[in-house]
Structure 1
Amino acid sequence: MNRALVFIYIMVASPIVASWNPDAGYVPSLTAGGTPHTTSNPSRADKIMDGDDQTHWQSGSCFPRGFTSRPDLNALYNACALQKCSVTGDLSGTSMNSATDDSHYTGLQVKTNAIGVAGFTVRLCSTVRLRILTIKGIYGSGSTVTVNAITSTGRVAIATLTPEDNYKLIEVIPDPNILLSAIELVSNKTFTLTEIAAMSKSCYEMAWIDMGSLKEVSVINTKHWAGGNALATSLLVSQDGVEWTKVADLDPNALKPVYTRLSSPQNIRYIGVRHEVEEGDVKKVYVWEIKAYDYNGVFGSMPNATQQNNTLRNTFGVNGIWGWGTKSYSYLLPATKGPNLYAEVSSHARNYHNLNWDVTDPDHVPDYGKMANGKGTEAHWWLNWDKEYQAWVDAGLTVHGSVQFGSIPSSKWDDPYTAGYNFGYAYARHFGPTHGNGLIAAMEAGNEPWKYPADLYREILRGFSEGSKAADPQMTFLPAAFQADDPVSTSNYMGNHIPEISAPFIDVLNSHHYSFHHRNDGVRTAVHPEHPDSTFNGIRNVLRWRDANLPGKPVWVTEWGWDAPGLGEICATSECVSNEAQAIYGVRGLLILTRLGVERATWFFYANTEDCDTLFCRSGLTGSKAVDFEKKDVFRAFKSLFHHAGDKVFLQTIREDRTAYIYVFGTRSGTPTHLVAWRPDDVREAAFHTVLFSFTPDPSKAWLLTGDNETGRPAPIPTKTKSTWRMMVSVVPTIVKLN
């Protein structure tokens, strides 16, 4: 019976998509199709542009002999073949070129002349100071070989070789003050010179890409590491591959991806990472990737702004858990705690509904009828979800159940499709609006199942989605959260987790977007949502993926937010922002998501976590249980926004650039009622700037949404001359009521 229902739903709901494109959200690097080059180990040069930041090019090492094969470092590279060498004796039975051919398996026999002197001289292309000279040879019994530096004023002995040095690679460090024009080896007996090399420059390694033609570049993404072996690392660009310009000093040991935004767009053809390597044996460095983009980076351009239908208040929600951190059913909590507290700012709440709270094995079918009769679930005798969710609904929250199973070993799923189908059917049938109790309006398959193989998740998704729709077509269904900007990160890539076959059963596309950015030292930090290289912008890739594959379907951002200290609870991670920044970025982030057409934006988390102070533990709208869930500034900031414009929808942008973001909100009929403006900068940039813009309605009142109260702080009212507004804006959003 269930399978028949599935068939009927497919026939009714199949979407019309011209061509399914799993990579529709991806923005390729401008280096794609280019040619990679390296100073050493060229067999792995392709790794710097294979798109995979888990593969890398490893350099050779300048020492003890790696530099000898590099004409850019070895001042004597092939010098004999270039006729810069001479000997005192005859060359019968030997080859002059063998002394500088970068082979330790060939050698030049330097013979004595008529007066018993064996001499070899190699001229340098110019007068230089040598950093190091390496010599390998075979010296007869009782012989002595003197190594002379030839200068403009004569000879300077810099080393002596004896039979004890036979077959050894001898390193000679000349006086750095000596300017040499040639090197001379003189002995009283015939000797064999296997190889001689000289280094006049400091050791460096470089990996670079020729893009094939000039391209306008604004952002360069590199992943590199020197393992403590580099004195410095730099990012270089060039138009011709000859003249290079340094555009950034990089941290040699960053390791994590580093985004370098150029001060202005540049037309370039070549991009390279150069390591200045410490002198020493077997000192190697690495480059994983070199990528380049236009101003919009890996996220692509902002979509055109269009009027939205969802109000600010209806867009915003919060992530919660059973009992809201109290270890008690929500219906037992006072009216000022739990769902009632968060319903002050939230229209909906997303619960992390653990599958293993309902069944002990994912292939088992949950018995919610038994649970409803007070007999618990297979996994917990005491559990009754109906009682918990009823308290959420009574508080005025629309409930979104995120069924998560990532902690269950993937091997536990004997028949993932059938298991998913049965669970999805039982869940939607019991909690859905058509045949069930209507406590849950939306169900989600997986939250972040990123440790599961993609093919396993696809089968679970197919089962969940088909089962839920067979049970209740009115139950909103969405897949787990995935990203659409990085196909190499296969563990959470949308393109390989959501198959075309499941498209007819998906009502909403789901993603998580926190605002992170890697500094030049590779440390990840949290930044403002408008930062051009913030991961928050990954929503653009998701929207493009939606437009191509699920046109017209809503997008929900079911996790986003910032961690911050406050109320005596510290935040001990590089991704923390200040308490003030959390409030200000939160409001700005919601305004941006609304402008982008995101139907739901569900904040993570409802409260700080009591027993930790690191990433995601201090992202709450309130403090933890330890501070009695006291409201944070971010809670009040959202409440002040909704106080003024909670029932309003996004209408248009007036300005959206590096100087100011200015949005207009109003009624669904299109009447402007409010304007919101701010500077898209770090919250520490406290100055006000004056902006001028054209806008017909008149300003009436204005408030700064700082989060220090629930209505906003009165602000100077913008002035208007004819149709030109003059307004003071800062990093704090100012909301203006219109006449």
Structure 2
Amino acid sequence: MIRLLSSLLLFLAASAGAKDQAPLFRDFVGVCGHTVTFKPELYAPVCTWVRDYHPVPWDLAKDTSTLPTWPFAKNKVSWEKVYGSWKGSGLHINVCLMLDEMKDSWKSPAKDAEAYAASFAKEFGPGGKWPFVESIEIGNEPGLYTDEAYLELFDAMAKGIRAANPKVKIVTSNVEAGKSDRYWKSAPMFKDRAALYDVLQIHRYAIAEQWPVWKRTYPENPKVPYLSSIQDLLNWRDQNAPDKKVWVTEFGWDASSKTPDPKGEWAKWTDSTDEEQARYLVRSFFLFSAMNIDKAFVYFFNDKDEPKLHAASGLTRNYEPKPAYHAVAWMLKSLRDYRFNRVIKASLDEGYIYEFTPEKEGEPVVWAAWHATKEDVGISSVDSGKAFLKAELMPLSAGAVESRDASQIKRCGQRPILIWWK
């Protein structure tokens, strides 16, 4: 079964690469941030896109029929200052409008939501007075709304955005190929709404054991619905909305330096190590790049080192870089002007080798090599037919890139190696 699944992954990745040119990594790598707590200068090395959880209650407060006086939210936060600083650091901005807390606040849901979304898109989208926002998500995980209530808001907001600023990309809430649930909506709800959106988004976590353990596993593990659920959505897209993009807008691993209170709610919670978080994130970016995914956003940018679910997923811990920060920064710096080209090997038994090609003709080709679960494993197919230039092992701290010579690249482990060929 495992060999069959590995072969299937290889086929799907190769098919995706052949179908549509993959994005350059500078257009692919994102991080989930949050308003005034996000520090753009700190996170610019680890992402080119930022996904903001934008609190609609800040903007509308208790009277949804009255728009804020832009660029200020009604709670006086300046979006000009917040998003302007992100743009000033060279980052692209995707705003997720958080709707759950508004469920019982709308005075006239469709009318107020359309006016709000139109106004926001007009002022902050491309060509607006503060042209910082490139895409808008209509809801994050809006499961507190019925499907009918959510679609009422979606239709209204999407129409408002389209009319006010057609240059803004519209993104659905978190969706899955199957039925709606608490944390996602069903992709088939959007089958007849092609004119109202540009991107389908999905959140996925490689969880091996659910409550109360919440233990996560490695991304290639075929026993968990991580890559497979994403592939299900891609398959639905291919059959029903082939011109739409798919973004993975949340994925990540908790890694805390603390242990949970043995008598508390999270007593049995189990996290990953700092090193596991680092290598799983980088390998996920590689895996996603081969699946015809257009963007991927790490959850989360920062954490306060709390030993509980989703509370230790930051690339930084109290704004101090974790190993994951350094690993993702190395990946992005190395592959910024590269895109996925082909899968050379994809095997749970024998390892993985992916090829990335440069935007600029004549630059070196780069291979990424790793094994899902083992260390010091021999890998075949290591001869590219080109001259070896250099190789580097994924770092876990600042300035800790370890070079590898030509004799050392025939073996790999769970930390990816990048190999440059010319």
TM over 0.5: yes
Q: Paired residue for 1:302? A: 12
Q: Paired residue for 1:661? A: 352
* Shift, 1:436, TM fit: 3.4
2:208 maps to 1:517 = yes
The residue type paired with residue 371 of structure 1 is W
Asked if the contact 1:637/1:712 (under 8 Å) is kept, the reply is: no
Determine which of 352, 361, 372 is the counterpart of 1:680: 372
* Shift, 1:669, TM fit: 6.4
2:250 maps to 1:554 = no
d(CA) in 2 for partners of 1:633, 1:430: 38
The residue type paired with residue 324 of structure 1 is T
1:488–1:347 Cα change, 3 Å: closer
Determine which of 300, 305, 319 is the counterpart of 2:32: 319
Deviation track 1:504-529 (CA, whole Å, cap 9, x = no partner) reads 1211111111111238x995420111
Q: Paired residue for 2:263? A: none
d(CA) in 1 for partners of 2:399, 2:26: 14
The residue type paired with residue 390 of structure 2 is K
Q: Paired residue for 2:412? A: 729
2:404 maps to 1:715 = yes
The residue type paired with residue 487 of structure 1 is K
d(CA) in 2 for partners of 1:366, 1:619: 35
Percent of residue pairs bearing the same amino acid type: 24
2:140 maps to 1:444 = no
| Counterparts of residues 490-529 of structure 1 (less than 5 Å) | 492-495=184-187, 498-518=189-209, 523-529=213-219
Q: Paired residue for 1:465? A: 158
1:575–1:596 Cα change, 3 Å: farther
* Shift, 1:678, TM fit: 0.5
The residue type paired with residue 397 of structure 1 is L
d(CA) in 1 for partners of 2:133, 2:326: 28
Asked if the contact 2:141/2:183 (under 8 Å) is kept, the reply is: no
1:449–1:526 Cα change, 3 Å: same
| Counterparts of residues 232-311 of structure 1 (less than 5 Å) | 295=5, 302-303=12-13, 304-306=15-17, 308-311=21-24
* Shift, 1:559, TM fit: 0.9
Q: Paired residue for 1:630? A: 320
Aligned Cα RMSD in Å?
Answer: 2.8
Asked if the contact 2:99/2:142 (under 8 Å) is kept, the reply is: yes
2:393 maps to 1:698 = no
1:300–1:487 Cα change, 3 Å: farther
* Shift, 1:434, TM fit: 2.6
Deviation track 1:477-524 (CA, whole Å, cap 9, x = no partner) reads 11111222x43747624235x3334321211111111111238x9954
Secondary structure (helix, strand or coil) at the match of 2:312 reads coil
Deviation track 1:195-246 (CA, whole Å, cap 9, x = no partner) reads xxxxxxxxxxxxxxxxxxxxxxx5xxxxxxxxxxxxxxxxxxxxxxxxxxxx
Q: Provide structure 1 residue ranges, at least 5 long, that are not aligned to the other structure.
A: 1-217, 219-262, 265-293, 326-337, 720-725
Name the structure where strand makes up a greater proportion of residues. 1
Q: Paired residue for 1:132? A: none
Q: Provide structure 2 residue ranges, at least 5 long, that are not aligned to the other structure.
A: 261-265
d(CA) in 2 for partners of 1:362, 1:517: 43
TM-score, length-scaled by structure 2:
0.89
d(CA) in 2 for partners of 1:300, 1:509: 24
* Shift, 1:417, TM fit: 2.4
Q: Which moved more, 1:451-460 or 1:357-366?
A: 357-366
The residue type paired with residue 661 of structure 1 is Y
Asked if the contact 1:358/1:377 (under 8 Å) is kept, the reply is: yes
The residue type paired with residue 153 of structure 2 is I
Secondary structure (helix, strand or coil) at the match of 1:545 reads helix
Asked if the contact 2:191/2:241 (under 8 Å) is kept, the reply is: no
1:420–1:508 Cα change, 3 Å: same
* Shift, 1:312, TM fit: 1.8
Q: Paired residue for 1:73? A: none
Pair member with larger Rg: 1
d(CA) in 1 for partners of 2:120, 2:274: 39
| Counterparts of residues 291-690 of structure 1 (less than 5 Å) | 295=5, 302-303=12-13, 304-306=15-17, 308-324=21-37, 338-361=39-62, 363-367=64-68, 370-372=69-71, 376-378=72-74, 380=75, 382-408=76-102, 410-484=103-177, 486-487=178-179, 489=181, 492-495=184-187, 498-518=189-209, 523-537=213-227, 538-566=229-257, 569-570=258-259, 574-609=269-304, 612-624=306-318, 629-658=319-348, 659-668=350-359, 673-681=365-373, 685-690=374-379
Secondary structure (helix, strand or coil) at the match of 1:407 reads helix
Asked if the contact 1:706/1:712 (under 8 Å) is kept, the reply is: yes
Deviation track 1:628-679 (CA, whole Å, cap 9, x = no partner) reads x111100100112223222111111101111211001112367661111111
d(CA) in 2 for partners of 1:488, 1:371: 35
Name the structure where helix makes up a greater proportion of residues. 2
* Shift, 1:362, TM fit: 7.0
1:616–1:670 Cα change, 3 Å: farther
